[in-house]
Structure 1
Amino acid sequence: MDCGIILPSVSPNSNYFSVHASPRSPCIMVRCQQKEGQVKNNHHYNELPLLKRKRPTMINIPVDRSLENNNIMNTSRVRVQEVEVEEDGYGVYSKKGISRTRLEDRYSANFASDAHGKSKQALFGIFDGHGGAKAAEFAAAKLGNIILDYLRRGDKSMIEENIKNGYLAADEEFLKGNATGGVCCVTALVQHGSLIVSNVGDCRAVISKAGVAEPLTNDHNPSREDEKLRIESKGGYVDCCNGVWRIQGSLAVSRAIGDQHLKQWVTAEPDTQILTIKPDFQFLILASDGLWNKVSNQEAVDVIQPFFTAGSNKPELKNACRKLVELSISRGSNDDTSVMVVQLDKFAH
C-alpha cells in the first residue's frame, strides 16, 4: 500500500531522523535513532525505518436502510455489531453474538408489483450463516430472486415444487463458487392471500393467530429420527458431542445451503407449508436459532403482541424485534440473533 511517505530528512547535528506520513495516510510519524557510527549526512540507509499503522477503530453501523431487495449489508470487511430496519409492514433487528467476531446473519425482503404499482407479492427471509458469512450473504442477495423466477416460469399449481427447485438451484450456484461455510434459511412468501413458508436448518417461522403462537416450520436437526435415518442411509453418522447432536461430529444442523464438505448428507431441500391468510393472522416472526434457543414460540408472540394492540395501525416493529433479541441475550445467548416481524395485513391482498 502507498502510504504517501515523504523520504527521511536528517539534520547533520542530529542522532535521529523522522519519517512523516501525508495527511491521507493511515501511517503515523515514527522517529528512529541512528545506529552509532552511521554517517549523518548520508541519505541512503541500509535499513528502512519502521512504519507503524494505526489500528482502525471498530466500526459500529447500527442501521441499514436499503429500499429495494433490502438485505443486511455485506459485512465481510467491517465489524458490524447490529442492524435495525423499519419499513412499512415489517421490521428487522440483528445483533452480533459475543462469541462471534462479526455478524454472520442476514435478511432479505423482495417485492414484486403489478402494472398499477401495487405490491402483489412479497418474499421475506432470515439467513443464519455458519463457517463465515459468505453463504448468508449469497442467500440474502440471490435466493429470493431465484425462487421468484422459478415461480414465474413454473407450473402455477406446483408452488411447493417451484420453491424447492429455487432452494436447490441456489445451493448449486453457491457451491460452484467453491466458497466455504453454509447457511440456514427461513423464507415467507405472501401472495394472493396465501402465506407460503419454507425452511432449511434451524431458522424458524412462528405466526400469531389472535395471540396464540403456531410454529410453521420444523427445525432440521441431526437428533430428529427422520433426519438421522436419512443421513445414515447415505453412509453418514450422527453422534452427540458435548450435548449437541452433529453430523460426522461437525455440523449441528442437517439441512442448509452450502457446506460443501458435508454435502453428501446436508441437503438444501426445504420443507414448505402453504396457508390461506385469515383475519386472525396478526403477524409473522422469522428468526434465527439465536432467539429460539432461549425464547419459546409463545413467549415470542407475547412480547410482540402489545406492539399490535397499542392502538396504532403502524406498530414500531424494529423495536419489537429488538425487545425479543434483548430477551434472548438476557437469558445467556451468545450467538448471533436476528428477528424479523411481518405485519401480514399489509401484504395479504
Structure 2
Amino acid sequence: MLHQTRSLSSESEGFRKTTSFSDSKAKNARRRRLEIQRLKSDTLTNSDANDETTKRKQSAGVASSSVELNFKSGSAKSQETGENQASEKSLSYSSPGSSSDRSTVSDSNLTSIPPPENEPEKISENLNSTVYGSVSVIGRRREMEDAISTELGFADYKSGMFDFFAVFDGHGGAGVAQACREQLYRIVAKEIEEESANMQAVEAVEERERDGFDWERVMAKSFGKMDEEVAGNDGYRVSVAAEVSIRTMGSTAVVAVVGKREIVVASCGDSRAVISRDGVFVPLTNDHKPDRPDELERIEAAGGRVINWNGHRVLGVLATSRSIGDHYLKPFITSQPEVTIWERTDADEFLILATDGLWDVVSNDVACQVVRGCLDGHIWKKAKGRERESSPSEAAAMLAELAMARGSKDNISVIVVELTKKSSSSFCRKEQAEPRSLVVPS
C-alpha cells in the first residue's frame, strides 16, 4: 500500500512538471507569434515607405540598368563647359541572364538613338575631317578586361600632328590592358621624338628622308618597353602572389597613329584594324593565331608547342601567339608587333579598330557595310523612313549591338575613325587587289 502511494505521488509530481513545461511552451509560442506579428507590421510599414520612395524616384526619372554600354562621343566644344573634351553617353543592355538572348537597347534599337543635340563629334586639330567615336561594353563576361585609348595630337613631327587610337584585349585580369591604356601612347610619343632627333643628327639626312621615318623601329621599341614595364621588373619587391598575378596577365594591342600623310598601324595579338578606301575594305592587320603557319614555326623553333585544346593554344593555354605581358609563356609569346604603313588619300573613308569580341562574330566586310550604312544614313532611312547621317559613336555602338545580337561572349570594344565625309552612293565592297600604298614590313 505504501508502495502504491509513493508511486501515485511520483506520478502526480511528474504530471505537474509536464503541465508546467507545457504551459511554458505555450507561453513561449504565444510570445513568438506576437513578435512575428509585430515584425510583419513593421515590415509592411517600411515597404509602404519604400514604395513611396520608389515612386518618387521613378517620377523623377531615376532608373537602374544591369549592364552599361558606355561610348565616347568626342566633341570639339562641349555645350556645358565650352572646353575641348569628350562626353560620355550611356545605353542600357539587358543582362546576360535575361529571358531574351539578344541584347536590347533601352530605346528599342540603336538606329533610333538621336545624335547629341548641337554637339559635334571630336575633331582632330591636325585633320579637320577626322572624327572618331568609341564604345566599350562588358558583354556576357563577368569582368571587363578590355581598354580603349584615344589621344588627339599626342605627338608632333615635321609632317604635322599625330592622333593615337588603340584597343587592348586583356586576359588573366585587366591590369595589363589598363597599363597599356595609361602608358603606351606616352611611350610611342617619346620614341617618335627620339627617332626624329636621331634623323636630324645623321649626316646623310637627305638619304634617310628618302627611306622614310622608321616607324617599324619606333613601334617595336614602344611595344618592347611597354612589355618590360608590365613585367614588374621595376626594382620593387612584391609578394609571390602579386608576382605570379603580374606574370600571368597579358593583353593584345592594336594601335593606329593617324597623321596627315599616313596611318601607321601596329598589331600584337588578335585585335584587328580595317580601313575603307573608296568603298573597298582593306584589313591592316593579320591576326596572330598559334596555328598561323609562320607563327607556329616561330613557336616551335623556340621550343614551344601549339596544342589544340578548345582551339589552338600556345602550350594549351593562350589562344593568341603575340601579346604584351604573359611573361610566364616567354619566349613562345612575343610582344614584337607587325607594322603596316598606309599612305593616305582623299578616298580614305573610315578606320575600324576592335577587339575579337566583335571580330569573332562579325566579318570585315559586314562591319564595313554597317559603318558605311550608318555614316551615310542608309540604316537610319531604313528604320525611320528618312535619311540622316549618323556619328562615328553611333556606328561603333551599332557594331557592338550587332556583335551582342550574334552571340558574342567576350568584352567588345570598338573605335570608328571617320577620315572624310563621303557621299552615300556606295557601300563597302570586298577588296579586289592590295593597293600599292600598303607596306607590311616582314
Give the TM bin, normalised by the shorter chain.
0.7 to 0.9
- Measured in 1, the distance between the counterparts of 2:338 and 2:313 equals 20
2:133 is matched with: 91
2:176 alignment partner, SS class: helix
- Deviation of 1:58 after TM superposition, in Å, equals 6.7
1:275 is matched with: 342
| Structure 2 residue 232 is matched with structure 1 residue 176 | yes
Q: Any gaps of 5 or more consecutive residues in structure 2?
A: 1-34, 36-64, 76-83, 89-102, 106-115, 124-130, 200-212, 234-242, 379-386, 422-442
Matches within 5 A, 1:1-349: 60=68, 62=70, 87-88=122-123, 89-98=131-140, 100-112=141-153, 120-154=161-195, 155=198, 157-176=213-232, 178=243, 179=246, 180-242=248-310, 244-310=311-377, 315-345=390-420
Does structure 1 conserve the Cα–Cα contact (< 8 Å) formed by 2:154 and 2:185?
Answer: no
- Deviation of 1:208 after TM superposition, in Å, equals 0.6
2:70 maps to a residue whose letter is: P
1:303 alignment partner, SS class: helix
- Measured in 2, the distance between the counterparts of 1:318 and 1:200 equals 25
1:218 alignment partner, SS class: coil
C-alpha distance after superposition, 1:165-219 (max 9, x if no partner): 0011110111126424100010000123111011000000000112221100000
Distance 1:319 1:192, change over 3 A: closer
- Deviation of 1:278 after TM superposition, in Å, equals 0.9
- Deviation of 1:60 after TM superposition, in Å, equals 4.4
Q: Percent identity?
A: 36
1:176 alignment partner, SS class: coil
Does structure 2 conserve the Cα–Cα contact (< 8 Å) formed by 1:69 and 1:109?
Answer: no
Does structure 1 conserve the Cα–Cα contact (< 8 Å) formed by 2:260 and 2:344?
Answer: no
1:112 maps to a residue whose letter is: G
- Measured in 1, the distance between the counterparts of 2:405 and 2:69 equals 22
Q: Which has the higher helix share?
A: 2
Does structure 1 conserve the Cα–Cα contact (< 8 Å) formed by 2:276 and 2:349?
Answer: yes
2:222 alignment partner, SS class: helix
- Deviation of 1:101 after TM superposition, in Å, equals 1.4
C-alpha distance after superposition, 1:27-85 (max 9, x if no partner): xxxxxxxxxxxxxxxxxxxxxxxxxxxxxx97847356799998x9xxxxxxxx99xx9
C-alpha distance after superposition, 1:118-137 (max 9, x if no partner): x7110100111111110110
1:39 is matched with: none
Distance 1:326 1:314, change over 3 A: closer
Does structure 2 conserve the Cα–Cα contact (< 8 Å) formed by 1:69 and 1:108?
Answer: no
C-alpha distance after superposition, 1:246-288 (max 9, x if no partner): 0001000000000121122110000001111011110000000
Computed over aligned residues only, the root mean square deviation of the Cα atoms, in angstroms, reads 3.5
Does structure 1 conserve the Cα–Cα contact (< 8 Å) formed by 2:249 and 2:325?
Answer: yes
C-alpha distance after superposition, 1:141-183 (max 9, x if no partner): 1111101110110145212111110011110111126424100
Does structure 1 conserve the Cα–Cα contact (< 8 Å) formed by 2:269 and 2:289?
Answer: yes
1:239 maps to a residue whose letter is: I
User: TM-score, structure 2 length as denominator?
Assistant: 0.58
Does structure 1 conserve the Cα–Cα contact (< 8 Å) formed by 2:264 and 2:339?
Answer: yes
1:93 maps to a residue whose letter is: V
2:216 maps to a residue whose letter is: E
2:230 maps to a residue whose letter is: F
Q: Which is further off, 100-109 or 151-160? A: 151-160
1:278 maps to a residue whose letter is: T
How many residues were matched structurally? 283
Q: Any gaps of 5 or more consecutive residues in structure 1?
A: 1-14, 16-56, 73-80
- Measured in 2, the distance between the counterparts of 1:173 and 1:315 equals 40
- Measured in 1, the distance between the counterparts of 2:353 and 2:370 equals 14
- Deviation of 1:316 after TM superposition, in Å, equals 1.2
Distance 1:330 1:253, change over 3 A: same
Does structure 2 conserve the Cα–Cα contact (< 8 Å) formed by 1:254 and 1:267?
Answer: yes
1:76 is matched with: none
C-alpha distance after superposition, 1:274-323 (max 9, x if no partner): 11101111000000011111111111110000233239998411111111
User: TM-score, structure 1 length as denominator?
Assistant: 0.72
- Measured in 2, the distance between the counterparts of 1:199 and 1:249 equals 23
Q: Which has the higher strand share?
A: 1
Does structure 1 conserve the Cα–Cα contact (< 8 Å) formed by 2:74 and 2:122?
Answer: no
Distance 1:165 1:324, change over 3 A: same
Does structure 1 conserve the Cα–Cα contact (< 8 Å) formed by 2:73 and 2:134?
Answer: no
- Deviation of 1:112 after TM superposition, in Å, equals 2.6
Does structure 1 conserve the Cα–Cα contact (< 8 Å) formed by 2:154 and 2:163?
Answer: no
- Measured in 1, the distance between the counterparts of 2:139 and 2:320 equals 19
